[in-house]
């Protein structure tokens, strides 16, 4: 397996990320060494919150929350998924599958021997982390999730599956703004909208795969901050021209999310992982069914915190509240903030998690 490593100098000008790096080397399926980065901040004897990010971001997403959490006595461990942030980046599309991300992060978990954890995951951090909880239940005391899920849709009609796959494999060109418009029309995967959400999400899957130099920084910026449109377009142009590391026209936030990728070759995880979201039945179906069977018996505390204004994940909590015993009588909340509520609602989300951890010991 060819594995790329982002030079440390690429992170030198990132603001408000003063955390000491920690690295763990695991073995991949073919015996390659894969180095995974994480930050570990807060009191050594404090209760541990494992925070996992999604796509196209990295542990920088938690940089606003960490001071609040540490102030509440919480020790925060936040890894970068392989392919993101300061972690190594396998170079090929075929290197990335849902199962491999679960396997890689499980190896990282076990090698560090982390125990007595409270888990919090959002986006892909939830998809991967919930599977880790199911596979290593003895290491987790409780679970909280935000704007994420455990997709498992075995009963989608074949005609819908064929339609979505044909679209994703078509030669139709999808622009960033066309894709964004389609995603904003979603009403969440739990809305019962006759598979419109699966159709709209396919625009994200197709756009990310077809775009070789996907503008990670611009996408994150669009979802987390207000930008002048001219500045945003110029920022997008610089990335398209291969100057993604340039600070010219980039906001601090946009720069931080573009920094892990010196060039387009480093972005394979950002491109490949959306297509691994199992919104239609695929090779992960059996493992997803097994995970849901586990959570249908999960009696440890389970908390759902949603934005309520994220078109992709609106209503995600319904399945968990209905099916997970540990979700009963928990203070599930909707707090706004869009998809990346860790950034936009950092203090509020931190306080909810602190109270959840204190309530449940």
> Which residues are annotated as catalytic?
123, 310, 339
What is the spatial distance between Cα 347 and Cα 64, in angstroms, rounded to a whole number? 8
Here the tokens at position 332 are 């599930």
What contacts 228, CB < 8 A, 6 or more positions away? Answer: none
Tell me phi and psi for residue 36, to 5 degrees. -110, 130
DSSP codes, 301-338: -EEEEE-S--TTTTTTHHHHHHH-GGGTT---EE----
Q: How far is CA 79 from CA 74, 89, 291, 358, in A?
A: 16, 14, 22, 23
Looking at residue 8, the DSSP 8-state letter turns out to be G
Tell me: cis bond preceding 56? Omega within 30 of 0 counts: yes
Q: How far is CA 13 from CA 59, 141, 304, in A?
A: 16, 37, 35
Length of the chain: 361
Closest CA to 319 of 301, 285, 284, 292: 292
What is the spatial distance between Cα 90 and Cα 85, in angstroms, rounded to a whole number? 13
Q: How far is CA 132 from CA 56, 207, 336, in A?
A: 20, 28, 27
What is the spatial distance between Cα 120 and Cα 49, in angstroms, rounded to a whole number? 7
SS3 content of the chain, % helix, strand, coil (to 5): 45, 15, 40
């Amino acid at each position: 397996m060819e594995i790329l490593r982002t030079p440390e100098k690429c992170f030198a000008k990132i603001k408000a990320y003063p955390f000491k790096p920690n690295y763990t080397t695991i073995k991949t399926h073919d015996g390659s060494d894969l180095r995974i980065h994480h930050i570990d901040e807060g009191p050594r004897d404090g209760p541990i919150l494992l925070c996992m990010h999604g796509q196209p971001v990295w542990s920088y997403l938690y940089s606003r929350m960490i001071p609040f959490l540490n102030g509440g006595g919480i020790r925060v461990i936040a890894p970068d998924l392989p392919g993101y942030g300061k972690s190594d980046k396998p170079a090929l599309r075929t290197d990335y599958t849902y199962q491999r991300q679960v396997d890689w992060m499980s190896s990282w978990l076990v090698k560090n021997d982390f125990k007595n954890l409270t888990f919090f995951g959002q986006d892909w951090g939830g998809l991967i982390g919930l599977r880790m909880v199911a596979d290593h239940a003895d290491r987790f005391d409780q679970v909280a999730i935000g704007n994420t899920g455990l997709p498992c849709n075995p009963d989608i009609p074949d005609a819908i599956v064929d339609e979505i796959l044909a679209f994703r494999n078509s030669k139709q060109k999808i622009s960033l703004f066309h894709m964004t418009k389609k995603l904003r029309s979603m009403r969440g995967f739990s809305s019962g909208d006759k598979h419109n959400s699966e159709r709209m999400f396919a625009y994200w899957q197709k756009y990310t795969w077809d775009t070789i130099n996907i503008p990670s920084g611009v996408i994150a910026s669009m979802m987390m901050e207000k930008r002048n449109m001219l500045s945003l377009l110029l920022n997008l142009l610089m990335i398209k021209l291969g100057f993604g590391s340039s600070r010219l026209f980039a906001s601090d936030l946009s720069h931080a999310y573009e920094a892990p990728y010196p060039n387009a070759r480093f972005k394979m995880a950002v491109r490949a992982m959306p297509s691994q979201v199992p919104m239609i039945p695929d090779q992960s179906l059996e493992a997803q069914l097994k995970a849901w069977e586990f959570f249908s018996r999960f009696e440890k505390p389970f908390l759902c915190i949603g934005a309520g204004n994220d078109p992709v994940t609106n209503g995600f909590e319904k399945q968990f509240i209905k099916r997970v015993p540990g979700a009963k009588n928990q203070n599930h909340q909707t707090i706004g903030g869009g998809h990346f509520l860790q950034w936009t609602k950092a203090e509020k989300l931190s306080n909810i998690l602190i109270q959840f951890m204190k309530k449940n010991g």
